[in-house]
Structure 1
Amino acid sequence: MQRLVMSAFFAVLPVLAEADAVVGSWNVEHLGWNNGKRLDLVAHVANHFDLLAVQELMAPAALARLEAALETASGEAWSSLASHALGRTSYQEHYGFLWREAEIDYLDGAVVFLDHGDVFAREPFSARFRGRRVGEAFVAASVHVTYGDGVDDRLPEIAALADYWRWLDEAHPGTPRLLMGDFNLPPDHAAWAPLRALGAVPAITDQATTLSTADGAYASRYDNIWYRPDRLSPASLGVVRYPALVGLDHGQARDRVSDHAPVYLALHGGELARLTRDGEGLATALAAGCVDLNGGSVADLETLPHIGPARAAAIVAGRPWGDSGELTRLDGIAAGRLAEIRASGRLCGG
């Protein structure tokens, strides 16, 4: 059952402290345009989550179609919620939420932020949900930060997210908050200092989330979920590198599904379901078990064969990497050592 939110006013009700759910966030890249998107594949990936925040929703009707595809894929009832169109020009987007009714209840408070300073090109959208197994509430908020002509165009919205974080606390006092979305900025940028000062931390710190054109490679650390660890303790978190789940290379995945991979938090003992398609399992797609040349930390890179501190630093300095074959640019890494790195199974994308 789909709901469309037009109003920016809501009632504040008493709330609790924790939640049980696998919560995801995904920029599904122009969902609703006539772009040949494979909704069955989108649904297969989305079915790994109990609640999914969707960015780049171009039409609420597309969210309804995805909801129907999820019900077909899962055999379960789903619901969805869409914002009204947001944007300063003729180009506008919606936000959406999808949730599995057996695991999640929508409570109230669906609202587009009243941005009195007119900072956001697309004002954040939030709602209050409850995990059914534990029966406790949380607030999910979704935002797609403007890309602009460069990083400087994004920084005002990033700075304004600290005020938005405070507003969420005022609107839902005592309720854990999840700020999810495509932020178009890595989580270690200095512009995040105001939000960090309020106790928020990113779920994804060193894993890239956008699909490179090179198969198996990931580029930017833009997608994330911010939360307060003193209020929520994720059972697990990570990036779902979905091409392995749907049997596509990166070129096909970008064309037919999205150029972003979803990120997630598993709360209060929730587990990411191991769903398969065409023989591929979830373990192949989880970023946590591999090292990303473009997103991994120096410590992560040093777990690869033949990569010590100096070479790890050189990998960081040499980003972006198109594929692992380019490691032969490093002093001392020739074909034989490259083969050993690939054979270790530690490298994302092989």
Structure 2
Amino acid sequence: MKSPRYVSRYLKAAFFVVCTALIPTLTVYASDIVVGSWNIQRLGHGSQKSFPALAAIASKVDLLAVQEVMTEAGITELEHALEKHTGEPWDHLVSHALGANSYKEMYAFLWRESAVEYSDGAVVYLDRENHFVREPFSAKFKSKQDNSELAIGTVHILYGKSIKDRTPEIKALADYWLWMADIYPNTPIVLAGDFNLPQSHAAWNSLKQYAQPLITQGASTLSKTPGKYANLYDNIWVERDTNLPINDAGIIDFPKMIGWDHSKSRKHVSDHAPLYMALGNSRLDNATASISAFTTPAPPSKPQPSTAEKATQEIRGNSNSHIYHRPDCPSYQRVSNKNRVNFSSAQAAEESGYRLAKNCPRPS
């Protein structure tokens, strides 16, 4: 039996920061795989889950981000069910339990070993300002088709008692996005999860400066009414100027796929449908049971400062990540006003405990 991977929050983070300094700054983009995201309602809790049904659905993708994992035994059982269903090996990565009180959840990634390989960088977000009840979890993966990579973060936003309880975490995702850009330089970034808020809400405006949702229509939560879906709470976000070769994205209508009604599906599978993103030449198998909701991401127009303007611009630090950016760094314009700390020079930033962003050009 394969030993499960478990991520220590601080040791893994420190290990990754050291190792990324040794990685060449060659940009490659994941391709020819199907990436999915799924809130598998209270996975590992109780005995009502149908793991054969879960495996039949999850096998449609090659890399799956999973939210609302209650025990690692639940992920391990799903991995074994996937191996039995597909006849090939799968692997998984799981975070530690996260939560502010006695109720805690884990995040996990599952992947088909013939198509995907874990690269490095598995880490729970170091949330210094305590924005999140369950801090996001991320890792970098490689497509075995051509060794191209992507970094994917996953999160389950607090539902709370009202929308007002959800919006602070949604707004904090902009800082998390910029943190991922620094942690995974020269790698396409993806954020997937159960956000408990449709992408049309104004709370998303901060993140929309840097990212865009792939799913903009339809709904992903199973209504109690047969055949009906209720809310578009789940999504997959990519960079506004992403280089990922996305050919399709949408919602997997899994009750239709396995021939179950919503009542049985909610009880034995989940009250959320999985989302998918097909890259390169990949296609979602059994696409008749999916709802395509994909519009090709359009890069935004970005006004570029003149050489004279660049010369007068200050060093920008991010007070949340303690990372600084020169005017020639790709993320210079992305530092939010809320977290921005200006320095007169790189030396002044470093004397204040900040380090240079890894995606900044290095002197030749």
TM over 0.5: yes
TM alignment of 1:146-295, pairs within 5 A: 146-198=158-210, 200-231=211-242, 232-274=244-286, 282-283=287-288, 285-288=289-292
TM-score, length basis structure 1: 0.78
The count of aligned residue pairs is: 280
1:19 equivalent to 2:23? Answer no
Map of 1:6 onto structure 2:
8
Map of 1:294 onto structure 2:
none
Q: Return the letter of the residue paired with 1:142.
A: T
**1:7 shift after superposition:** 2.9
CA displacement 1:16-71 (0-9 Å, x = unmatched): 33112100000000000014010110011000000000000000111011000000
Map of 2:307 onto structure 1:
none
1:78 equivalent to 2:90? Answer yes
Q: 1:131 is matched with which residue: 130, 143, 147?
A: 143
In the aligned structure 1, how far is the partner of 2:277 from the partner of 2:88?
21
Q: Return the letter of the residue paired with 2:80.
A: A
TM-score, length basis structure 2: 0.75
CA displacement 1:165-197 (0-9 Å, x = unmatched): 000000011110110000000011111111111
In the aligned structure 2, how far is the partner of 1:99 from the partner of 1:144?
20
Q: Kindly, what percent of the aligned residue pairs are identical?
A: 46
Asked if the contact 2:90–2:111 (Cα under 8 Å) also holds between the matched residues in 1, the reply is yes
Following superposition, which runs of at least 4 residues in structure 1 exceed 2 angstroms of deviation? 13-17
Map of 1:67 onto structure 2:
79
CA RMSD in angstroms, aligned pairs only: 1.2
In the aligned structure 2, how far is the partner of 1:35 from the partner of 1:16?
45
In the aligned structure 1, how far is the partner of 2:245 from the partner of 2:111?
21
TM alignment of 1:321-332, pairs within 5 A: none
User: Which runs of 5 or more residues in structure 1 are unaligned?
Assistant: 275-281, 290-350
Asked if the contact 2:34–2:283 (Cα under 8 Å) also holds between the matched residues in 1, the reply is yes
User: Which runs of 5 or more residues in structure 2 are unaligned?
Assistant: 294-364
- 1:24 aligns to what SS in structure 2? strand
Could you tell which deviates more after superposition, 2-11 or 249-258?
2-11
Distance 1:113 1:5, change over 3 A: same
In the aligned structure 2, how far is the partner of 1:60 from the partner of 1:261?
21
Map of 2:353 onto structure 1:
none
Q: 2:58 is matched with which residue: 29, 35, 46?
A: 46
Q: Return the letter of the residue paired with 1:288.
A: S
Asked if the contact 1:159–1:192 (Cα under 8 Å) also holds between the matched residues in 2, the reply is yes
Asked if the contact 1:4–1:60 (Cα under 8 Å) also holds between the matched residues in 2, the reply is no
In the aligned structure 2, how far is the partner of 1:228 from the partner of 1:268?
17
Could you tell which deviates more after superposition, 34-43 or 211-220?
34-43
Asked if the contact 1:137–1:175 (Cα under 8 Å) also holds between the matched residues in 2, the reply is yes
Asked if the contact 2:191–2:238 (Cα under 8 Å) also holds between the matched residues in 1, the reply is yes
CA displacement 1:71-115 (0-9 Å, x = unmatched): 000011100000000001110000000000010010100000010
Q: Return the letter of the residue paired with 1:16.
A: T
Q: 2:46 is matched with which residue: 18, 25, 34?
A: 34
